Amino acid sequence: MSRTNAKSIQPQETFQILDEPGVGTLVLDRDMQVTWANAYAMDILSACEEEILGCDVCQVLDTHLVPLLRGREDAHRLLATMRDEDEIPGLDLSVQDSRGEERRFIYSSRKIEQEPFAGIWVLRIRDVTGRKETNEGLISSNRQLLILNQIMGVSASSLSLDELLEASLSKTLDLLDFDLGLTYLLNPERTLALTRYHHEVPETYLARNRAIKVHHWPWNFVFVAGQPRYLELGGEGGTIEEDILSSLGVCALACIPILAESVVVGALFLGSRKREELFDEERRLLEAIGSEIGSGVLRSMLHKRLEAAHRETNLYLDVMTHDIKNAENVANLYCDLLLDMLEGDAAQYARKLKGSIRKSTGILQNISTIRRIHQEPPDLEPVHLSHVIRTGLDRTPEAGVSFEDTPAEVWADDLLPEIFTNLIGNAVKFGGPDAAITIRVEDHPEEDHTVVVMVEDNGPGIPDGMKEAIFQRFRQGKSQGCGEGLGLYIVGMLIERYGGRIWVGDRIKGRPGLGGSF
C-alpha cells in the first residue's frame, strides 16, 4: 500500500475531539486515504498505525474488516458504498472479532462540507453488541409474556374443564409452532394418566398410550415427581425415550406437568417434527404455561365443588322453607285449638308456644328472602307504595300504626313489602305492644322523582353508637327483647337492590331515648 505524510494535511491532535469511548473513528482525506484513527478503531480492525495511516480506506476495510464480517452481503454493501463515496447513516454489521466472539456494529460515514475540513470523511464503527443483545432479550421476553397472557386469557374464559384443556392445547400448539400435542389428567386414584385431548397424534401411539401408568419410567418423572421431561433426538435418553419419539414421529417432545397448587393433576405433551432440541427460554415458557393451565384446572375443580355445595345448600333451604313450614302450619293450628280449650296458665303456655312458632316462621321467611335476593336479579316495575305499606300492616295486625295513603309509585318488585314488614315488626318488638308507630311519605326536598319514607316509633330508640351498625348481619339491639339479627340486614339489602338508601335517626332530634326514625 502506498503511504502519504498524514501530518502534512492536518495535525493528528486536531481530530482528538472525535475520539469517543466504544466508537472506532477513522478520518479520511480528500483522496479517501486514512489520515487519523483512534485506538478503538485499530483494536476493532486488529491493525497498527503503520497498516492504516496513509492507506486507501477501501483497501483498509477490505483487508481488516471484511474478513471479520459474518455475511457476504454486508461486505458487498460496505465496499460498494465506499467506492461510490456515498454517505451511510447506519449499516448494521455482524462481526466475529479476533477472539472469535460475535459482535454487532453500526457503521456510518459522513462527508464534511465546512472549511477548513471540507472534503474530509469521518467513518464511525459503533459497538452495539450489548445493546443488541438487550433488545433481542427484551423482544423475546415480550413475546413470551404475550404468549403466556393469551394462555391466561383462554384459562380465565373457559367455562368448563373440558373447554379449558382443549382450548389451552390448541392455543399452545398454534403460538409455539408445535406439530402435535396431548393433554393427560390423572385418575382419582393417581395411578393412571388418561388422555383428554389430542391433536395430530398417530393412532398407533394412541392405541397403546390412551392410559399411561404413571409410576413407570420415564412418566414417573412427570406425573409423580412433577418435573418437566424433554425428550430429544441425540439427547441423553435411552432406548425407551427414542422409542417414544419414534412412535410419535417427532424429533423433540416436551412433557410438562400440569400443577394445581404444587400438586400434579395431569401433563401437557408437545412434539415437534422440525426441532431437535428446545432452548432454555422455550422450556421456561412451557413450564409457565403448565402452571397456568394447572391454575385453570384448580379453578374448574373449585367451581364444581362450589356448585355441589350450592345444590346441597338449596336442598337444605328447600326442606326448611317447605317441609318445616308445613309442619309449623300444623303446629300453629293445634295451638289455636288448645287456646280455645285451655284457660289460665295452660292457655298462657299455649300462647307462648304459638309465639315461638310464629318467630320460627319469621326466621324461615327471612332466609327465603335472602335466598331470593342473591339468586334473582331485580325485575323492577312501578309499584303503588300505599298498597305495599298496607300489605306490611296486614302482616302485623297487633301493631298500632298511623298511616295516610299516598299516590306515590316507586320502582321495585314483589320483595318490597318485606321492608315494611321488618321495620314495623322491629318497632313492635323493641317498643312493645303499646308502641305508637307512624309512617309518613314525602317528596324528597332536593331530589326530583324521589320519595322519603319515614317509619317512626316512640319506643326506647337507638343509641348513637349503634346507628350505623344495626344494618349489619346478626347485630341485635340491646334494649328490650331480642332478635335474630336478620330483619334490618334484609331491609338494607333490599333498599340497595332498588337503588335507594336507608339511615336511622331520632324521632325527636337529639333525644334517642324517645324513639327511633328509619
Q: Above 80 in pLDDT, residue 266? A: yes
**pLDDT tens per residue across span 349-384:** 988 888 888 888 888 888 888 888 888 888 899 999
In the numeric block, the cell 400448539 is attached to 173
Closest CA to 431 of 479, 363, 466: 479
Q: Which CATH architecture has domain 136-298?
A: 2-Layer Sandwich (3.30)
Whole-number percent of the chain with pLDDT over 90:
12
Q: Which residue has the higher pLDDT, 83 or 208?
A: 208
Burial (CB count <10 Å: 0-12, 13-18, 19+), residue 385? buried
Q: Between vectors from CA 12 to CA 9 and to CA 18, what angle results, nearest 5°?
A: 115
Q: Above 60 in pLDDT, residue 11? A: no
Residue 418 CA: distances (Å) to CA of 283, 359, 370, 373, 510 = 60, 15, 11, 11, 29
Supply the DSSP symbol for 113: -
**Rounded Cα–Cα distance for residues 121 and 109 (Å):** 7
Q: Is 462 helix (H, G, I), strand (E, B) or coil?
A: coil
**How far is C-alpha 484 from the geometric centre of its chain's CA atoms?**
39
Lowest mean pLDDT among 9-23, 236-250, 459-473, 503-517: 9-23
| Confidence at residue 253, expressed as pLDDT on a 0 to 100 scale | 92
Supply the DSSP symbol for 100: S
| Confidence at residue 476, expressed as pLDDT on a 0 to 100 scale | 53
Phi-psi region of 14 (alpha: psi -120 to 50; beta: other; left: phi over 0): alpha
Supply the DSSP symbol for 56: B
Q: Please provide the average confidence, as pLDDT, over all residues in the chain.
A: 81
Q: Above 60 in pLDDT, residue 9? A: no
Q: For the residues 30-38, what does the mean pLDDT come to? A: 87
Q: Which CATH architecture has domain 6-127?
A: 2-Layer Sandwich (3.30)
| Confidence at residue 494, expressed as pLDDT on a 0 to 100 scale | 92
| Beta carbons of 518 and 504 less than 8 angstroms apart | yes
Q: For the residues 380-403, what does the mean pLDDT come to? A: 84
> Which CATH superfamily, name and number, covers 378-517?
Histidine kinase-like ATPase, C-terminal domain (3.30.565.10)
In the numeric block, the cell 418437566 is attached to 228
**Rounded Cα–Cα distance for residues 168 and 11 (Å):** 69
**pLDDT tens per residue across span 140-160:** 555 656 666 777 777 676 667
Q: Above 80 in pLDDT, residue 2? A: no
Q: Which residue has the higher pLDDT, 143 or 444?
A: 444
Do 378-517 and 136-298 have the same topology in CATH?
A: no
Q: Where are the domains of the chain?
A: 6-127, 136-298, 305-362, 378-517
| Confidence at residue 290, expressed as pLDDT on a 0 to 100 scale | 84
**pLDDT tens per residue across span 65-115:** 888 876 666 667 776 766 666 677 777 787 776 667 777 788 888 888 777
Q: Above 90 in pLDDT, residue 15? A: no
Give me the residues paired with residue 402 across strands: 438
